[in-house]
A and B are shown apart, each in its own frame.
Chain A
Amino acid sequence: MTELLQRVLPTVQKPARYTGGEYNEIKKDLQDVRVRVAFCFPDTYEIGMSNVGMRILYGIMNEMDGVWCERVFAPWGDMEEAMRSNGLPLWALESNSPVKDFDMIAFTIGYEMSYTNILNMLNLSGVPLRSKDRQGLKNIVFAGGVCAFNPEPLADFIDFFSLGEGEEITVEIVSLYDKAKAEGWSKEAFLLEVSKIPGVYVPSFYEHIYNEDGTIRQIKAISGVPQVVTKRIVEDLDSAYYPTKMIVPSTEIVHDRANLEVFRGCIRGCRFCQAGFSCRPVRKKSADVLYRQAVETLTDSGHNEITLSSLSTSDYRELKELTDEMIPYCAQRRINLSVPSLRADNFSRELMQKLQTTRKSGLTFAPEAGTQRLRDVINKNLTEEEILTTCANAFSGGWNNVKLYFMLGLPTETDEDVLGIAELVYKVIQTWKECASNKKRGLRVHVATAYFVPKPHTPFQWEKQITPQEYLRRCHLLKDHFYSKSIEYNYHTSDISRLEAVTARGDRRLGAVLEVAANSGAKLDGWDEYFNYKLWLDAFEKCGIDPDFYTIRGYGEDEILPWDTIDVGVTKQFLLRERKRAYEEKITPDCRHGCSGCGANQLLKEVACDA
């Protein structure tokens, strides 16, 4: 650690997040290292270290001979200030080397509002922001993660994107770089070669040509690259790499526990959900493998909590077998087994009873919409009856805390749907009055509404976002219909969700806005402490870009979409079909009740879709 860093650390909050040195951190001798990768997470240590994807790829790259992957996180504001005033460039935790000394700079991007952090981190590293301003093989910047499914807003900054699951493609990319470096290739030669790896999208090989009205006229693939790049997936999760020797942070992080992913993909098809479509097809891990990995991870890490994660854990076929093994193992060792994302079905209710330890955490539902009609539109197959039955069970078992999550601004939503939320909440309160075993402690119902953001690769990718004024009107309408003292109502601010809509469906022209915003100080936009809407509005103004074009305009079904060069497996025809069904208020049964023909099973060569 440098003398300078030693002096800066006492002046900042939570210095342990900047020092590395945690249990299972990987160190290598630089003499044996040919390729150095700085793996950057565009948010704070506490958020980034909670990301399972990053842990998997960290392990995979470090298993490669001659490759050393180190971690880099966004500094909090106090540290950034200290770094800037002392001329301390951004460093990687393992070696404390400056990021600009690394061969490859990788970002994993899971949230649109972290885009400015990417630019800010490059800036703090002293690395030029724009791809074209970085010459040579040194400091090749690449990125992956769900946001790479519409990479265009970042196209000017990132040399190439790695699409989909990274277990295999990352090894191919880094191996190619190893070769390129040994043979002294130019950056151009490397980019051309890397573009031949399936799943790699090099934005500079795609020219975007616009119509007068601002829509895209043509996306021209040049240098012989494919017109459409298909994301990568791992077919067999049982044999896929999974790190059971994970870094255990020495300071508290957001998800401070072991984490096991039980399957990938989702059978549900909620029409607003990007992960639900872009993570298909469904592939499971067997209970045996999971149990073995759970034991290994827990034994090695010393964690006292483990989470079984997935997009919808109730849909894991072997959940009973797995939990039957895990519950006694965990109980004996004072390990808390947490199973989030359960549906309100009978098995889950039984499981909840079994998992129930000394502490009763709250119940959380995400009905997303207040009326059955609108829930049918969005294909959220959760009925009022399921919610109320689960609540009744829980209340009679002593629970007295419920969280309900909704969205406002969903397609076809009317005031009746908004007020349907209030009605549903009252039925929950009524259920408590009828079933509560202990009324003395009172009931808390937390209701939260989010501002609907249409996302790429979903049936709602063409939808209009409602205006912020309209969103706030609906929030207030709802608020005015909550009379009970038991209700605590929170609604998301409109500003962030509006920007999220812009960046989620943005095109290449947004690069200029991101750069201006970041240069004028936009950073940590996901944090209330730092989010500054005005910086963004000024940046739009300065770049002559109207955010409404990406939000309230809506996209035409015939329009070329900025992300049309990216194939996540589900076909556009399927998405259009689903959109039509939404407007017809028709649900589409989950994949287990019949394949709806999304197309994602075509990605599988060796196994069948496990939906």
Chain B
Amino acid sequence: MPRLLFEKTGRGVWISHLDLMRLFQRAFKRADLPLTHTQGFNPRASVSIALPLSVGVESACELLDFELDGQTVSCDEICNRLNNALVDGVKVLEVYETGRKIRDLSLLHCVVTLEYDSGVPAGAQSAIENLFSQESVIVPKKTKNGIQDQNIIPMIRRLSVVSVDPNTIELDALVCCQNPTLNPAQLALAVEMHLPDYKADFSKSRRVEIYDQNENVFR
């Protein structure tokens, strides 16, 4: 099945996962690239997105699998036509014939931005570094069965704290993104819960790149 790599930036980050699926289906139609559909009572277009992205999160590494209905169009052509049919903030970066099995996707390079309106408090950077060098950091996670406490440390492969400007620091991290999954927002939550003095006024995250278990870029 062909796959495309796309980014979600700017105003595009506010489009939810379900809306994005619909948006792509329409974009394929506008681009005159008919998709195959599932059989049955409620036919569905063959588009699927690898790791659903939370609303508000920017990403440079989203994957979407699709299948065209009886057309042979080159990958470059698909990429161009789709980009003409897409909206501000959703852009296809690359289209390729086949991709690796999604189950091999395992790690995510993400950046969590912490913004402090009256300047980054003194000592924040080292305190946060210390927090994440512990063996266990418990953060509550919302699941279907209610809220469960979870130790997030085993799911963090690497993490560094970077000072960006006097008001901003970033957590640059490589985390598990499948079985188990760590939502990068949990990193900001960990700071908020365990270091209340260094709670940011605003936090957001972005996806930078995805990898397999051996840290090879995943496509």
Interface, chain A (partner B; CB < 8 A): 1, 7, 9-10, 14-16, 18-23, 25, 248, 250-252, 299-304, 333-334, 358-359
B200 to chain A, nearest CB (A): 11
Check A334 against B37 for contact (C-beta < 8 Å).
Answer: yes
Q: 13 A-B contacts, Cβ less than 8 Å apart?
A: A9-B56, A14-B16, A15-B55, A16-B19, A19-B14, A21-B89, A23-B87, A251-B15, A252-B19, A301-B30, A302-B85, A333-B29, A359-B42
> Which B residues are in CB contact (< 8 Å) with A304?
25-26, 29
From A10, A25, A302, give the contact of B26 (CB < 8 A).
A302
Interface string of B43-60 (1 = CB under 8 A from A): 100000000000110000
> Which A residues are in CB contact (< 8 Å) with B18?
252
Interface string of B118-158 (1 = CB under 8 A from A): 00000000000000000000000000000000000000000
Assuming A19-B11, A23-B30, A302-B27, what are 15 further A-B pairs, CB within 8 angstroms?
A: A7-B202, A10-B55, A10-B204, A16-B14, A16-B55, A22-B87, A23-B85, A25-B88, A248-B26, A250-B19, A250-B87, A303-B29, A333-B34, A359-B41, A359-B42
> Which A residues are in CB contact (< 8 Å) with B43?
334, 358
> Which B residues are in CB contact (< 8 Å) with A301?
26, 30
> Which A residues are in CB contact (< 8 Å) with B202?
7
> Which B residues are in CB contact (< 8 Å) with A252?
18-19, 22
A468 to chain B, nearest CB (A): 41
Q: Is B10 an interface residue (CB 8 A)?
A: yes
Question: Whole-angstrom distance between the alpha carbons of A31 and B43 in the complex?
Answer: 48
Question: Whole-angstrom distance between the alpha carbons of A245 and B207 in the complex?
Answer: 34
From A9, A10, A21, give the contact of B10 (CB < 8 A).
A21
Q: Is B198 an interface residue (CB 8 A)?
A: no
Q: Is B184 an interface residue (CB 8 A)?
A: no
Check A302 against B11 for contact (C-beta < 8 Å).
Answer: no
Question: Whole-angstrom distance between the alpha carbons of A302 and B84 in the complex?
Answer: 13
Check A251 against B16 for contact (C-beta < 8 Å).
Answer: yes
Question: Whole-angstrom distance between the alpha carbons of A248 and B15 in the complex?
Answer: 13
7 tightest CB-CB pairs across the interface, nearest first? Answer: A302-B26, A302-B29, A21-B11, A302-B30, A15-B14, A21-B88, A10-B56
Check B30 against A299 for contact (C-beta < 8 Å).
Answer: yes
Q: Is B68 an interface residue (CB 8 A)?
A: no
Check B87 against A21 for contact (C-beta < 8 Å).
Answer: yes
Question: Whole-angstrom distance between the alpha carbons of A21 and B22 in the complex?
Answer: 16
A256 to chain B, nearest CB (A): 8
> Which B residues are in CB contact (< 8 Å) with A1?
10-11
Question: Whole-angstrom distance between the alpha carbons of A250 and B18 in the complex?
Answer: 10
With both beta carbons as reference points, the residue of chain B lying nearest to A357 in the complex is identified as B43
> Which A residues are in CB contact (< 8 Å) with B23?
250
Q: Is B6 an interface residue (CB 8 A)?
A: no
Known: A15-B55, A16-B16. A300 touches B30 (CB 8 A): yes
Interface, chain B (partner A; CB < 8 A): 10-12, 14-16, 18-19, 22-23, 25-30, 34, 37, 41-43, 55-56, 85-89, 202, 204
Check A9 against B14 for contact (C-beta < 8 Å).
Answer: yes
Question: Whole-angstrom distance between the alpha carbons of A303 and B27 in the complex?
Answer: 9
> Which A residues are in CB contact (< 8 Å) with B41?
358-359
**Best-surrounded residue of A9, A15, A248, A250 (most CB of chain B within 10 A):** A250
> Which A residues are in CB contact (< 8 Å) with B10?
1, 21
With both beta carbons as reference points, the residue of chain B lying nearest to A334 in the complex is identified as B37
Question: Whole-angstrom distance between the alpha carbons of A20 and B89 in the complex?
Answer: 11
**Best-surrounded residue of A7, A20, A21, A304 (most CB of chain B within 10 A):** A21
> Which B residues are in CB contact (< 8 Å) with A20?
11
Known: A302-B29, A303-B26, A359-B41. A21 touches B12 (CB 8 A): yes
> Which A residues are in CB contact (< 8 Å) with B204?
10
Question: Whole-angstrom distance between the alpha carbons of A333 and B32 in the complex?
Answer: 10
Question: Whole-angstrom distance between the alpha carbons of A39 and B43 in the complex?
Answer: 38
Question: Whole-angstrom distance between the alpha carbons of A531 and B27 in the complex?
Answer: 38
With both beta carbons as reference points, the residue of chain A lying nearest to B87 in the complex is identified as A23
> Which A residues are in CB contact (< 8 Å) with B88?
21, 25
B169 to chain A, nearest CB (A): 17
From A16, A25, A300, A334, give the contact of B15 (CB < 8 A).
A16
Question: Whole-angstrom distance between the alpha carbons of A15 and B18 in the complex?
Answer: 13
Question: Whole-angstrom distance between the alpha carbons of A359 and B86 in the complex?
Answer: 29
A82 to chain B, nearest CB (A): 13
With both beta carbons as reference points, the residue of chain B lying nearest to A256 in the complex is identified as B22
Check A250 against B15 for contact (C-beta < 8 Å).
Answer: yes
Question: Whole-angstrom distance between the alpha carbons of A359 and B42 in the complex?
Answer: 8
Question: Whole-angstrom distance between the alpha carbons of A25 and B19 in the complex?
Answer: 17
> Which A residues are in CB contact (< 8 Å) with B55?
10, 15-16
B118 to chain A, nearest CB (A): 15
> Which B residues are in CB contact (< 8 Å) with A334?
34, 37, 43
Question: Whole-angstrom distance between the alpha carbons of A18 and B14 in the complex?
Answer: 9
With both beta carbons as reference points, the residue of chain B lying nearest to A93 in the complex is identified as B11
Question: Whole-angstrom distance between the alpha carbons of A333 and B43 in the complex?
Answer: 13
With both beta carbons as reference points, the residue of chain B lying nearest to A248 in the complex is identified as B26
B68 to chain A, nearest CB (A): 14
> Which B residues are in CB contact (< 8 Å) with A15?
14, 55-56
Question: Whole-angstrom distance between the alpha carbons of A18 and B11 in the complex?
Answer: 10
> Which A residues are in CB contact (< 8 Å) with B25?
302, 304
From B12, B28, B42, B89, give the contact of A302 (CB < 8 A).
B28
> Which B residues are in CB contact (< 8 Å) with A299?
30
A341 to chain B, nearest CB (A): 25
A262 to chain B, nearest CB (A): 23
Question: Whole-angstrom distance between the alpha carbons of A250 and B30 in the complex?
Answer: 14
B71 to chain A, nearest CB (A): 14
> Which A residues are in CB contact (< 8 Å) with B28?
302
B84 to chain A, nearest CB (A): 10
A85 to chain B, nearest CB (A): 14
A135 to chain B, nearest CB (A): 36
Question: Whole-angstrom distance between the alpha carbons of A15 and B15 in the complex?
Answer: 8
B161 to chain A, nearest CB (A): 22
> Which A residues are in CB contact (< 8 Å) with B86?
23
> Which A residues are in CB contact (< 8 Å) with B29?
302-304, 333
Question: Whole-angstrom distance between the alpha carbons of A300 and B85 in the complex?
Answer: 9
B160 to chain A, nearest CB (A): 25
Question: Whole-angstrom distance between the alpha carbons of A19 and B85 in the complex?
Answer: 19
Question: Whole-angstrom distance between the alpha carbons of A371 and B204 in the complex?
Answer: 62
Question: Whole-angstrom distance between the alpha carbons of A171 and B99 in the complex?
Answer: 53
A63 to chain B, nearest CB (A): 21
A330 to chain B, nearest CB (A): 12
A204 to chain B, nearest CB (A): 40
Question: Whole-angstrom distance between the alpha carbons of A7 and B202 in the complex?
Answer: 7
B164 to chain A, nearest CB (A): 15
> Which B residues are in CB contact (< 8 Å) with A9?
14, 56
Question: Whole-angstrom distance between the alpha carbons of A10 and B19 in the complex?
Answer: 16
Question: Whole-angstrom distance between the alpha carbons of A395 and B56 in the complex?
Answer: 48
> Which B residues are in CB contact (< 8 Å) with A25?
88
> Which B residues are in CB contact (< 8 Å) with A359?
41-42
Question: Whole-angstrom distance between the alpha carbons of A131 and B13 in the complex?
Answer: 39
Question: Whole-angstrom distance between the alpha carbons of A42 and B23 in the complex?
Answer: 26
Question: Whole-angstrom distance between the alpha carbons of A250 and B55 in the complex?
Answer: 13
